[in-house]
Amino acid sequence: MERTRMNGHDFTEINVEIAVREQAFISPETFQKLLEANYQSDLLAILGDSIYSFGDKDLASLEAIDNRLMKRLIEEYNWAFSESPNQAIVSVFAVRYVYHNLKVLLKGKALERDFSHLLIPIGAERIEELDHLVTTLYSDQLGAELVDEVRSIWEDYQTYHNLRILELGADLAYFRHLKRLSADLDPVLQQLVRMMTDFYNVIAVKRGLSQQKTDNGIYQVLSDEGSFPAKAFIQMVEEDKLIDWFGQLNTLLDADIEEFENRIRRSEISTVDLEYLSDFMLFKLLDSQELTLDGPLPLAKYLLRCEFEIKNIRLILSAYHNHLPSDLLAERMRPIYGE
């Protein structure tokens, strides 16, 4: 993978543009209005004053809603890849879509079916290149590590003929790719990647134990690219010592995080709580660097905010579509705004 040494001044131009683009984020007041809206006409009117504009037909199905939201996210990533002095920073957030696409293509190959409607055109690795790799198990356009990962996943599938292997193989390859991407980046982004990996492991262990899976069965889905070896996460959850991990992970003094820390200490944290806490911690980590005006961190925070804004709008519109009570949504809304 090609590495380019960067300095903070390389990001001056894009950071100025980010400051302008941030003005388009939906305000806390507008999100509150969306949460309180009772009628479709109210939702459409509120969103009509934002960069998100939906028609009546767009709210008729969850698929239509998601298509409109993904169109916006694709535009943001296209802009970031075209303007960033270092694409690896963008790929830290975008590469999960690359591995989503690999899963889709690998499953399509295994089942001899066309799932192209599920592909998402986000990532430095273009869909056409990924399709060629999966089809031929060869590429002179993509990195050697990625080619080797896909070949290994397909060989395992050929041995066991279990679709779950494709899913699992891609998940673990994703975290190895993330670690490679972050190797030469800002230490804060390296910490961000470790945090993402750790939370994946902890959630996977909690979920596996709740499903009464064996330790070996859980271990197979864990990544060794986090702060501790994969087996250590199983032991910490089983022995109610998850606070040992979280105490090391969390270096931020924040009252909201302290409440989650107390739940972890009492072994009362659920997988839903952990999924929210994961996003909350990622945001807080980047938000704590708000005085760092130069360098790559403003871009990283901007991309995370874009992801969370899309997630919040999807949550609100999905709840409306499914007639769910809005009072349950506020606590699930992802953070977008700092102090």
pLDDT in tens, 116-149: 999 999 999 999 999 999 999 999 999 999 999 9
| pLDDT for the residue numbered 336 | 77
> Tens-digit pLDDT profile for the chain (339 aa)?
444 455 557 899 999 999 999 999 999 999 989 988 888 888 889 998 888 888 878 887 888 889 889 999 999 999 999 999 999 999 999 999 999 999 999 999 999 999 999 999 999 999 999 999 999 999 999 999 999 999 999 999 999 999 999 999 999 999 999 999 999 999 999 999 999 999 999 999 999 999 999 999 999 999 999 999 999 999 999 999 999 999 888 876 577 788 899 999 999 999 999 999 999 999 999 988 765 678 899 999 999 999 999 999 999 988 888 877 777 787 788 887 754
DSSP 8-70: GGGGHHHHHHHHHHGGGSPPHHHHHHHHH--SHHHHHHHHHTSS----TGGGG-HHHHHHHHH
Tokens describing residue 104: 């889709």
| pLDDT for the residue numbered 2 | 41
- Whether residue 322 contacts residue 65, with contact meaning beta carbons closer than 8 Å, is answered with no
For the stretch 187-237, pLDDT in tens is: 999 999 999 999 999 999 999 999 999 999 999 999 999 999 999 999 999
DSSP state of 335: P
- Whether residue 144 contacts residue 177, with contact meaning beta carbons closer than 8 Å, is answered with no
The verdict on pTM exceeding 0.85 is yes
- How many Å apart are CA 290 and CA 18, to the nearest integer? 13
Which residue, chain included where needed, has tokens 């839903």? 272
- How many Å apart are CA 129 and CA 138, to the nearest integer? 10
- Whether residue 164 contacts residue 110, with contact meaning beta carbons closer than 8 Å, is answered with no
Q: Phi/psi of residue 61, each to 5°? A: -145, 150
Question: How far is Cα of residue 193 from the mean position of the Cα atoms in its chain?
Answer: 10
- How many Å apart are CA 174 and CA 168, to the nearest integer? 10
| pLDDT for the residue numbered 92 | 98
Query: Angle 103-106-108 (CA atoms, 0-180°, nearest 5)?
Result: 105
- How many Å apart are CA 198 and CA 219, to the nearest integer? 14
- Whether residue 34 contacts residue 47, with contact meaning beta carbons closer than 8 Å, is answered with yes
Closest CA to 313 of 125, 54, 20: 54
